Chains A and B, each alone.
Chain A
Amino acid sequence: MLPTGPGEQAGLLPWFWPDAASFAACAAVGGSHSWSDLRNDPGLLLYLLSRDIPFQVHSGCASDGKLKTLLASPSVPWVDWRSPEILPATRTALAAAHFAEILAKNFVGIEPAQAWTGAWLAFTGCLAVGVVEPRAINEYLADPSLHTDPFGTQIRLWGSTRADIAWRLSNEWRLPRWAQILLGRIDVTPELAHQMGGDRRLHAVVQVAVILAEQAETRFFVSDEFDLASGLAELQIRSTDLEQVRRCYAAECDLNAWLNLERSDPRSGLRLLDLADAVEDMSIKPIRESDAFQERVKEAKLAALAELAAGAGHEINNPLAIISGHGQYLMRDETDDAKKQALQSIIRQTRRIHSVLTELMYFARPPELHKEWIELSRLVRESIAVVAPLAAERNIEIELEAMSTPLWVDVDPKQLTVALSALIRNSVEASPAGGWVRVASVFRSDRLDVVVEDSGPGLDERAREHLFDPFFSGREAGRGRGLGLSAAWRLARQHGGDVHFVPVDDGPTRFVLTLPATVAVTAAQRKSA
């Protein structure tokens, strides 16, 4: 039988159209698009989710050609989410997204962007009906038997229930598992969602948000499909706490502002394939305020890199051992100086390849921290000593500014020496012959800074952005070669700190390694402890 009611067709939708503005924002070369601009477009949210790299638009994201196929399919209507017919559904979904974000931010430590998206997913069944037949939303809301029999009303008017539509979409759309379950099975308890492969706490957050949103906006009876108690129990919040969430929502969230955003059909005024090309051409431009997701992508990248480094370690170091060994064998009886030098170079270069692999591993998967108390100035001196031969060779003077009071730090001395010496090496390599490098430590109220300055040339903006990214290849000559800076950044992060470049107008080039203040005590404090 062919699908008849809007519900039947809604369950077959291949996707929602993102707005033209979203496409344009994503595709704009060098343009910046922030999460707060894009997150109100359910079409874009779904598109990003289906790419497996949520909220990070990057080149090649549509290279499988799926986008082109979709753009060429006229069967999906574009809708203006602000049109009066659909507005009750989109307003309620948007309210749920706000509530979910508040809950995630203030109460339970869940990624706000994920909670936001989850709330949209919970209402996607209703939105799909609106896409297919905008009138069907208001018909449903105006139906006299809605309050006594909401699900029966859905079947009568739509041809199937919201839950059924959503469940079918969740089976058809390629989404991460947690998203699939929020879309298709918002009715199950957080515990069951977890057993099905979903995210227990996220599920609870979205359920609570749906209930609050239907109270604040329009009741679609999605919240009647599950029980508030299990969600609250999962999150360990009391029903009285919800009052605070409501206050927060009333104070911070303005749904009307969203109404003013520009929305239009992406197919109007643009050739479809131009659009597809534009999207496929999207440059890497992380969306701010979605750090949690980016963090995950970064984790995945690092895990893959660690895997590669581990494999490469074996595959490359073994032949290196043989090359180096033969070199050493020939060296033993070699009397010709030129040949000896050549052999020495062979041996030295095998060591260099080995150290690149080691650094790569250090970056991708640093060993566990073995912390001990050590005097900071000793750590700094030892780090300088590592680079001293190179500095001498290049005629660079390394100055160490002593601290007024000796400071003890609780860190992994080996790892921190690697990090600091990498920073100092970077400065030595960038400084012209006869130049200088200065190292100083500053204890501030909230953090400890180790400042490394040099007389070398500074960095342009593009180089700054990718300074610590080992995947970036367009570095400026002299600075940030190899993986040293990346490793320094990573090891500082391991310690709860950071490494950054601090631009100084007309001054030296300055890098700062920051550690949390909690790792440091003065000698006096240490004695009294």
Chain B
Amino acid sequence: MKTVFTTGEAAKICKVSQQTIIRCFDNGQLKGFRVPGSRFRRIPREALYKFMRDNGIPTDALESGKRKVLLVDDDVELLELIQKFLDEDGRFETRVAQNGFDAGMMVKEYHPDLIVLDVMLPDINGKEVCQRVRADSTLEDVRILCMSGMVEEDRIQELKLAGADDFIHKPFEVETLIERMCVQLDLETAAAA
């Protein structure tokens, strides 16, 4: 488990700007130290945890240290399968939704770092889910990776215009899926040993 964070990492975990973290660090609200021989700021886990609790910031992201992923697909078997792979990978915390409506509710409540979204859902289609997420300014840091069995190139372009960050065809190599997720989440692409 990570014990010391940079200001950038702390900003991501707290979902605030890096400037805010630096300001709080400099005025003493957020305890930490500077790397000997330089001016780089470092924040120990306990200090970050206390800071988050004191300021009412949800601490779950720090507690797990995992990236939050919302998997949306109407096919339970596929959801379970991807979940199994992601659990074994160990870097992701997952929740699942089986339709567009549930996905919309969970995006707000769970605030995932990434939505892995099947675009052919029984109710609201994926394009609309993308548009709704993009229309909500509180969700602007949420990345969207769409997946689908559809084969029409033009419709894939439409998805990207609607706000999807990436697209993967079904069937896919699960390794490729995870790599593409990592790119969206700024994670190292090779799974941590």
Contacts and interface: CB of A to CB of B under 8 A. Distances in A.
Nearest to B154: A367
Contacts of A329: 81, 84-85, 174
A358 B170 CA distance: 11
Interface string A418-453: 000000000000000000000000000000000000
B151 A313 contact: yes
Contacts of B85: 325, 329
Interface in B63-121: 75, 77-78, 81-82, 84-85, 120
Interface residues of B, number: 22
Interface in A350-377: 350-351, 354, 357-358, 360-361, 365, 367-368
B58 interface: no
Q: Is the interface of A mostly helix, strand, loop or mixed?
A: helix
Name the interface size band of chain A. 20 to 34
Interface of B: 75, 77-78, 81-82, 84-85, 120, 148-154, 169-175
Given A321-B172, A323-B171, A361 B78 contact: no
Contacts, number: 70
B151 A358 contact: yes
B174 A322 contact: no
B170 A318 contact: yes
B52 to A, nearest CB: 36
B171 A314 contact: no
7 contacts: A310-B151, A313-B151, A314-B120, A321-B171, A322-B81, A324-B173, A329-B84
Nearest to A357: B151
A320 B149 contact: yes
A485 B174 CA distance: 32
Given A317-B148, A325-B81, A361-B151, 7 more contacts: A317-B151, A320-B170, A321-B78, A350-B171, A358-B151, A367-B153, A368-B154
A310 B148 CA distance: 11
Contacts of A177: none
B152 A365 contact: yes
A309 to B, nearest CB: 6
Contacts of B120: 314
Given A314-B120, A329-B85, A354-B169, A321 B150 contact: no
Contact of A321 (B149, B151, B154, B175): B149
A365 B151 CA distance: 10
A324 B81 CA distance: 10
A328 interface: yes
A351 B171 contact: yes
A29 interface: no
Contacts of B82: 325
Contacts of B77: 322
Interface string A310-342: 100111111011111110110000000000000
A487 to B, nearest CB: 13
A322 B78 CA distance: 6
Contact of B150 (A313, A351, A368): A313
B173 A317 contact: no
Nearest to A361: B151
A190 to B, nearest CB: 35
Contacts of A368: 154
Q: Is the interface of B mostly helix, strand, loop or mixed?
A: mixed
B190 to A, nearest CB: 15
Interface of A: 309-310, 313-318, 320-326, 328-329, 350-351, 354, 357-358, 360-361, 365, 367-368
Given A326-B81, A367-B154, A318 B149 contact: yes
B26 to A, nearest CB: 47
Nearest to B76: A322
Contacts of B169: 317, 354
Contacts of A354: 169-171
Contacts of A316: 149
A325 B174 contact: yes
Contacts of B173: 324, 328
B36 to A, nearest CB: 43
Given A310-B150, A358-B151, A365-B152, A317 B81 contact: no
A368 B157 CA distance: 11
The residue in A313, A326, A351, A360 that gathers the most chain B C-beta atoms within 10 A of its C-beta is: A313
A314 B75 contact: no
A444 to B, nearest CB: 32
Sorted nearest first, the 7 A-B pairs with minimum C-beta distance are A317-B149, A321-B170, A367-B153, A313-B151, A361-B151, A321-B171, A324-B171
Nearest to A326: B81
A325 B84 CA distance: 10
Contacts of A322: 75, 77-78, 81
Contacts of B151: 309-310, 313, 317, 357-358, 360-361
Nearest to B168: A321
The residue in B75, B77, B82, B85 that gathers the most chain A C-beta atoms within 10 A of its C-beta is: B77
The residue in B78, B84, B171 that gathers the most chain A C-beta atoms within 10 A of its C-beta is: B171
A188 B78 CA distance: 60
A360 B172 CA distance: 19
Nearest to A325: B81
Nearest to B74: A318
Nearest to B157: A367
